[in-house]
Structure 1
Amino acid sequence: MYSDRALVIGAGFAGLLAARVLSESYGDVVLVERDQITVDTEHRAGIPQAHHPHALLARGAEALEALFPKLGAELAAAGAVEADLGSDFMSRAPAGWAPRDPIGLKVHSMTRVTIEQIIRRRVLKLPNVSLVDGVTIDGLLHDRGTVTGVHGRRADEPYTDYADLVVDASGRTSKLVSWLAEFGVHCPAPMIVNGHLAYTSRLYHVNHDLKLDWKTAYEITHAPTTRRGGAVSTVDDGLWFVTLFGAGGDAAPTDEDGFLAYATTLECQDIAEIIKTATPASAIHHAPNLRSRWNRFHKVPNWPRGLLALGDSVVSLNPVYGHGMTLAALNCTDLRNLLEDHDLANEPLVFQRAVAKSAQIPWTSATTTDLGWSQRKLPRSTRFTQWYARHLFEVIPGNPQVYRAFIRVSQMVDHPAALFRPAVLRRVLWSALSGSRPRARER
């Protein structure tokens, strides 16, 4: 047995952040990763979503900056595009175009590959953090209610490693539920919401001949009538990331003609124009059947000591809504704060409850939207939230104040209660009761 040693399963985004935090409290931190990986590894099998856009919400960027000082400046130096969420975004809701007034809230737009490479370099420079790659974990080592390490295979040889604390950050494909069942710890059935959404993405080289007055353009899907949407973002390395959304079972094709034809059905014709005229920089990648899943580990009374879980291993949200990286960053902020006052190896449920608390708002946001495509009868609270959201979107095109409130909530900067403040509530209720909409701007 080792003392003062932490082991993190998974060296993706969440695992790297966890290792960064644990390096402050543990003398030795080991990242154990299934893929072969180097500091400069780009696309790998364990991160299929890297072929699609990744949003780092404003709240997530703030949390990351606290963990990695001057990260924003480093991202900008690597080519990440800084954009105001109002003036630099062209947004289309079903009722019309959103206002383009500056909001004063900025985000960086970049590929998943770029942000993960930068964070990986930083983490692996820490003197007490190491990486062991090419390892397939088959289960947990345990002794009388305490997890003591992991076992698996590396290069067809048995692999065993011990630690005082094991953190599962292996993501959507986590096998933690079955590993726990092997030694008598049974978890509640996960909550799963499937919105039957899909997205199809491709990178393009920026075409400077197209004179566009935005850095990101997007058109949302909205139940029950608007099944198609799309987005294009200017990202690092002089690229555009084009993604076409399909909801309620709709999906964009992966052949070139079909991809373009789907884009031409959108109101935002800039997306189709880019596909027509820009040079492709990647293949077309498709991700079907996107869903949200919550493993309710915080409700397991005999949760073993020496084990924590975070990120997508616990709550994996429909990636269309862009919560994943931000939620992982918030989990690791909680981890850092709780380690100041708690021995989490002996009090793991303290952390799992914090993970559940951080997940509540983004889970409700993502699943309420996806349940709009459901044919079954929904709870009254969900129906009310959907009704309010529908009328909120009708007000947005002609009202900068309402749009600003919506953006701050969607970026997790403000609590959703901000959308029920009098200035917003009056406009939404007036629209709902009178049937009138504010005048929207032209494209």
Structure 2
Amino acid sequence: MAAIYSDRALVIGAGFAGLVAARVLAESYGDVVLAGRDTFTADAGLPQAHHPHALPARAAEVLEALFPRLATELEDVGAVRADLGSDVLHRVPAGWAPRDHLGLSVLSVTRPTLDRILRRRVLRLANVSLVDGVTIDGLLHDRGMVTGVHGQRGDRPFTDYADLVVDASGRDSTLVSWLAELGVHCPAPMIANGRFTCTSRLYEVNRDLKLDWKTACEITHSPDIRRGGVVSSVDGYRWFVTLFGADGHAAPADDDGFLDYAMSLHCQGIAEVVKTATPVSDLHRTGNLRSRWNRFHQVPDWPRGLLALGDSVVSLNPVHGHGLTVAALNCTALHGLLREHDLANEPQVFQRAVARTAKIPWTSVTTTDLGWSTRKLPLTTRLRQWYSGRVLAVIPGDRQVHRASVRISQLLDHPATLLRPAVLVRVLLGAAGPRAGTSAQRTAPSGHSTVTGTPRDRA
């Protein structure tokens, strides 16, 4: 068990990262307060959640340890479990990935459902409370230590004091500016921008529509494939469709343009849902989906009493689906370090742990997105891009490489597993041989229509 302090912790942000952080802090702090910007009851979800949020395998493992039977509870309210092999129709540049059962799954769930269940669980804890409708404007401090926050709640000033303040306010965090007001200056953030845009809509699917998959997706890939998309079954008979574009491309936010964009993809299962299902939301577009890393672990005069985690530190391009996992892993690190450290007085111990957690997903995401960059990249980045291209080239014809790639994408295995001799040989020989040019490139899996003849121009 972690030591119980008599202290008070305040978490800025009552979304996914803030809720999981509060659950962890509740074991070590006598009083934990969640300060949320939005207004909601204990049973409410996020007011706005326009894009899908799958719960990857690694994130599910972490959450199940902190919230026993969470997966069962999510499935009871409609979350859909999909095997990453047999239930997923996955189009890579060279063709269709194998449809073998992998025994690895994701839970497809809308973000309001996920946050609602987590919020209900966390607010059942006796020492956790929620203050909603709060806009935090800055930090309170005294002689190098953060002592609380100040802001607005409605039309009234808001001030709250705490022994530990945790910024979990997400990719819109203004912590860098707050620190500058205290005379604490951070290094310039690292930024990788593939100029991605997502356009999404939620649909109600006709129950007579028979599909042999639960998720269908098609990825972008530099330098030529700028369009992609995904459709996933969520919350019962609802389906989330997201069309994305790289390098400045974007699906139109009107009905006809959205359908035309979907039909331009090889993965016609996406267009099938758009054509036949009933929209139950507006079309929502989000642009400039870049990745940013605030290098807080490199700030020598970081104040005591302050921690930051999740998207407040490392916000990854959400197209790649690593954000929830990274935030969950940050909270796992928090859970472990609280057993051995008073993090209010040793905050950089935690910030260094956050940086270690971020390294692999950051490298993975930015290596892909920098493929759209026009500047000359470092040799190591170009080598990673070259090898990633070889991996994608053999996936349609090589089940072993496909499985290894999926495990890495779920953050279950280290990317170095793709360099093990047995895999390395298959990647290098397969990319050069006929396997990369088999009929798997041209023929869609059973039960799925495909584009025939001359491929459409997807650039």
Counterpart CA distance in 1 for 2:431 and 2:397 is 15
Counterpart CA distance in 2 for 1:435 and 1:403 is 17
The answer to whether the Cα contact below 8 Å between 1:372 and 1:386 also exists between their aligned partners in 2 is: yes
Number of the residue aligned with 2:39: 36
Count of residue pairs the alignment pairs up: 438
Number of the residue aligned with 1:153: 152
Identity %: 71
Number of the residue aligned with 1:124: 123
Counterpart CA distance in 1 for 2:236 and 2:141 is 46
- Residue identity opposite 1:242 in structure 2: V
Counterpart CA distance in 1 for 2:434 and 2:275 is 39
Q: CA deviation at 1:207?
A: 1.9
Counterpart CA distance in 2 for 1:284 and 1:324 is 23
The answer to whether the Cα contact below 8 Å between 2:394 and 2:435 also exists between their aligned partners in 1 is: no
- Residue identity opposite 2:53 in structure 1: H
Classify the secondary structure of the residue corresponding to 1:109.
Answer: strand
Q: Which moved more, 1:34-43 or 1:85-94?
A: 34-43
Number of the residue aligned with 1:86: 85
Q: Structure 1: which 5+ runs fail to align?
A: none
Q: Which runs of 4+ in 1 moved over 6 A?
A: none
The answer to whether the Cα contact below 8 Å between 1:398 and 1:440 also exists between their aligned partners in 2 is: no
Counterpart CA distance in 1 for 2:107 and 2:56 is 9
Counterpart CA distance in 2 for 1:41 and 1:286 is 24
Classify the secondary structure of the residue corresponding to 2:196.
Answer: strand
Q: Which moved more, 1:61-70 or 1:421-430?
A: 421-430
Number of the residue aligned with 1:244: 243
Q: CA deviation at 1:169?
A: 0.5
Number of the residue aligned with 2:140: 141
Equivalence map 1:378-393=2 (5 Å): 378-393=377-392
Q: CA deviation at 1:432?
A: 4.1
1:330 paired to 2:329: yes
Counterpart CA distance in 1 for 2:402 and 2:27 is 40
The answer to whether the Cα contact below 8 Å between 1:306 and 1:344 also exists between their aligned partners in 2 is: yes
The answer to whether the Cα contact below 8 Å between 2:245 and 2:251 also exists between their aligned partners in 1 is: yes
Number of the residue aligned with 1:75: 74
Counterpart CA distance in 2 for 1:361 and 1:342 is 25
Equivalence map 1:169-318=2 (5 Å): 169-318=168-317
Q: CA deviation at 1:438?
A: 5.7
Number of the residue aligned with 1:13: 16
Q: CA deviation at 1:43?
A: 3.8
Q: 1:191-236: per-residue Cα shift (whole Å, max 9, x none)?
A: 1111101111111112222211001010111111111111110111
Counterpart CA distance in 2 for 1:29 and 1:390 is 47
Counterpart CA distance in 2 for 1:440 and 1:125 is 55
Identify if the C-alpha distance between structure 1 residues 302 and 440 changes in structure 2 by more than 3 Å, giving closer, same or farther: farther
Counterpart CA distance in 1 for 2:370 and 2:64 is 34
The answer to whether the Cα contact below 8 Å between 1:197 and 1:250 also exists between their aligned partners in 2 is: yes
Classify the secondary structure of the residue corresponding to 2:209.
Answer: coil
Classify the secondary structure of the residue corresponding to 1:201.
Answer: strand
Q: 1:357-401: per-residue Cα shift (whole Å, max 9, x none)?
A: 000000001111000000100000000110111111010001111
Counterpart CA distance in 2 for 1:90 and 1:433 is 25
Q: Which moved more, 1:234-243 or 1:34-43?
A: 34-43
1:428 paired to 2:431: no
The answer to whether the Cα contact below 8 Å between 1:391 and 1:428 also exists between their aligned partners in 2 is: yes
Q: 1:160-211: per-residue Cα shift (whole Å, max 9, x none)?
A: 1111100000111111111111111110001111110111111111222221
Counterpart CA distance in 1 for 2:62 and 2:430 is 37
The answer to whether the Cα contact below 8 Å between 2:108 and 2:233 also exists between their aligned partners in 1 is: yes
- Residue identity opposite 1:18 in structure 2: A
Counterpart CA distance in 2 for 1:226 and 1:245 is 11
**Root mean square deviation of aligned Cα:** 1.3
Q: CA deviation at 1:440?
A: 4.6
Classify the secondary structure of the residue corresponding to 1:407.
Answer: helix
- Residue identity opposite 2:32 in structure 1: V
- Residue identity opposite 1:152 in structure 2: G
Classify the secondary structure of the residue corresponding to 2:360.
Answer: helix
Q: CA deviation at 1:42?
A: 3.1
Q: CA deviation at 1:36?
A: 1.1
The answer to whether the Cα contact below 8 Å between 1:399 and 1:438 also exists between their aligned partners in 2 is: no
1:22 paired to 2:25: yes
Counterpart CA distance in 1 for 2:283 and 2:37 is 26
Q: CA deviation at 1:81?
A: 0.7
TM-score, length of structure 2 as denominator length = 0.94
Q: Structure 2: which 5+ runs fail to align?
A: 445-459
TM-score, length of structure 1 as denominator length = 0.97
Counterpart CA distance in 2 for 1:436 and 1:3 is 63
Number of the residue aligned with 1:400: 399
The answer to whether the Cα contact below 8 Å between 1:97 and 1:440 also exists between their aligned partners in 2 is: no
Counterpart CA distance in 1 for 2:417 and 2:206 is 39
Q: 1:225-281: per-residue Cα shift (whole Å, max 9, x none)?
A: 111111110111420111111111111000000000001101111111111111111
Number of the residue aligned with 2:373: 374
Classify the secondary structure of the residue corresponding to 2:436.
Answer: coil
Number of the residue aligned with 1:340: 339
- Residue identity opposite 1:139 in structure 2: G
Q: Which moved more, 1:154-163 or 1:354-363?
A: 154-163
The answer to whether the Cα contact below 8 Å between 2:91 and 2:218 also exists between their aligned partners in 1 is: yes
Counterpart CA distance in 2 for 1:360 and 1:155 is 39
